[in-house]
Structure 1
Amino acid sequence: MLRVELVTGFDHLYESGAVDARKLHDLAVKLTEQKEIGYLDALASALPASKHVCISSVDSLFKRYEAGFGPIKDFLLGLKLISNQNDVVIKIRVNIFVFAFLAHAKNLDLMFHTEIAAMHKSRFLSWQNAIHNLVLFESKGRIITCEQKVLVKPYLKLRKILERDSTRNELALLALLTFSCPMHEKEILKVLGGSDSALKALLFTLLDTGVVTISCGLVTIEQMYIPIAVFFVRAKLGVDLIQLSQRWV
């Protein structure tokens, strides 16, 4: 049985004891070349010999600039077939925004049993509430509640940047980081193009807001400020990640 656990934020990418999806996929691809076998057989060979397997970092396979939906779709469908054939319980953790995007684009949710833990459901609902309050703050001047006042300063800093028509690259980077797991700078350059110096300047602007941060060499959205990023992705690009994900909460 394949169980898809939907999670919020990026904590799951650093869990110990779980199999890293990117490494597992890369090993399977390598085995297809070495042994001249199909991806499904290679993936089965690459999996640990256990009746219960937990896999993290599945989000990292969703890199449209590299191979479209192919890797993550093949990986998930392969795991489902393997779990059914070999009577293995496989649990994978996927960011809810990534899964929602894949579900709406490729209907992958119809093939899997999904669940969301109470902690992640609570966090999602708190983000939903925070975004609602930001909308009221922006449109009607409502005062932000005490527990969410921490959002005001970085929100206003980021709004001052993104309200300019000339900050398309800043918006593109914010959207990319909101949809994707944490990324190396070279990965960002592959998507957005431009020069290394231009990216440094771009990052300097966004890092100053506090919404974007660099941790362990990876550029990411500061977890407590994810509602701000989601708000601007909806306001500026019309993509409502909260609404897309609502059905699984």
Structure 2
Amino acid sequence: MLKVELMTGFAHLRDEATVDALSLHSQAVALANQKEGGYLEALADSLPASDSLYISSVDTLFKRYEAGFGPIKDFLLGLKFISNHRGGNIKVRVNIFVFAFLAHAKNLDLMFCTEVSANHKGRFLSWQNTIDGLVLFELKGRTITNDRIGLAEPYLKLRKILERDSTRNELALLALLTFSSPMQEEEILKVLGGSHSGLKALLFTLLDTGVVTKSFGLVTINEKYIPIAVFFVRAKLGVDLMALAKRWV
């Protein structure tokens, strides 16, 4: 049985696992190219022999600048088919926003058993309350409550940047990071285009807000400020990530 556990944020990418999805997928692709069989057979041959597998970093297979939904879709469907025929348990963890995109684009949610732990469900609902508070702050001038006062400074810094019409690249980068796994600068350039110096300037601006952070060479959204990023993606681009994902919470 394949079980998909939906996660808030991307901390699960650092989990210890039986094997990581990227190396498993790469091995299966290489094996499929060597043999006459297809990807499914190669993936089955590449899986470690165990009745219980945990495969990490599935989110990293979603690379829109390369093959879009293809790799992560083929990987998850392959695991589903293999687990149905072999028996045993396979568990993967996927960011809830990444899964929401897969579900709405390819209806993949109809094929998987999904679950959200109480901890992540509570975190998701907390994000929604924070976003609702930001909406009231903007529409009715209500103050940000004391329990979320730490969001005020980064929120106002980011708002000052994004309220300008000339900051489309900053907004595009913010949106990309909100529903993608942490990315290297080279990966960002493949999506957004432009020059290295231009990207450095974008990152300097966004890193200064604290909403975007960089660690171990990877650029991502600071997890405690994800509601701020989600708020601006909806306000500026009309993409409501919370609405897309709430059916699983």
Q: TM-score, normalised by structure 2?
A: 0.98
Q: What does residue 211 of structure 2 align with? A: 211
**Alpha-carbon distance, 1:17 to partner:** 2.7
- One-letter amino acid of the structure 2 residue matched with residue 228 of structure 1: I
Q: What does residue 2 of structure 2 align with? A: 2
**In structure 1, distance between residues paired with 2:67 and 2:212:** 26
**Alpha-carbon distance, 1:69 to partner:** 1.2
Aligned positions of 1:62-73 closer than 5 A: 62-73=62-73
**Alpha-carbon distance, 1:19 to partner:** 2.0
**In structure 2, distance between residues paired with 1:242 and 1:174:** 16
User: Secondary structure at the residue paired with 1:235?
Assistant: helix
**In structure 1, distance between residues paired with 2:56 and 2:123:** 19
**In structure 1, distance between residues paired with 2:160 and 2:8:** 27
Contact 1:82 1:88 in 2 (8 A): no
1:161-186 deviation digits (Å, cap 9, x = unpaired): 00000000000000000010000000
Alignment pair present for 1:91 and 2:94: no
**Alpha-carbon distance, 1:34 to partner:** 2.3
**Alpha-carbon distance, 1:88 to partner:** 2.1
User: Secondary structure at the residue paired with 2:209?
Assistant: coil
Identity %: 75
User: Secondary structure at the residue paired with 2:181?
Assistant: coil
Q: What does residue 232 of structure 1 align with? A: 232
**Alpha-carbon distance, 1:65 to partner:** 1.1
- One-letter amino acid of the structure 1 residue matched with residue 86 of structure 2: N
- Give the paired residue count: 249
Q: What does residue 20 of structure 2 align with? A: 20
Instruction: Tell me which moved more, 231-240 or 67-76.
Output: 67-76
Q: What does residue 61 of structure 2 align with? A: 61
**Alpha-carbon distance, 1:48 to partner:** 1.1
**In structure 1, distance between residues paired with 2:245 and 2:210:** 25
**In structure 1, distance between residues paired with 2:119 and 2:20:** 22
User: Secondary structure at the residue paired with 2:66?
Assistant: helix
**Alpha-carbon distance, 1:124 to partner:** 0.5
Q: What does residue 110 of structure 1 align with? A: 110
Q: CA RMSD in A?
A: 0.8
**In structure 1, distance between residues paired with 2:229 and 2:202:** 16
User: Secondary structure at the residue paired with 2:183?
Assistant: coil
**In structure 1, distance between residues paired with 2:27 and 2:247:** 34
**Alpha-carbon distance, 1:56 to partner:** 1.5
- One-letter amino acid of the structure 2 residue matched with residue 233 of structure 1: V
Alignment pair present for 1:50 and 2:50: yes
**Alpha-carbon distance, 1:23 to partner:** 1.1
**In structure 1, distance between residues paired with 2:43 and 2:27:** 8
C-alpha distance 12-110 of structure 1, shift in aligned 2 (>3 A): same
Question: What are structure 1's unaligned runs of at least 5 residues?
Answer: none
User: Secondary structure at the residue paired with 1:3?
Assistant: strand
Contact 2:234 2:240 in 1 (8 A): yes
**In structure 1, distance between residues paired with 2:224 and 2:19:** 26
**Alpha-carbon distance, 1:18 to partner:** 4.2
Question: What are structure 2's unaligned runs of at least 5 residues?
Answer: none
**In structure 1, distance between residues paired with 2:17 and 2:77:** 23
Q: TM-score, normalised by structure 1?
A: 0.98
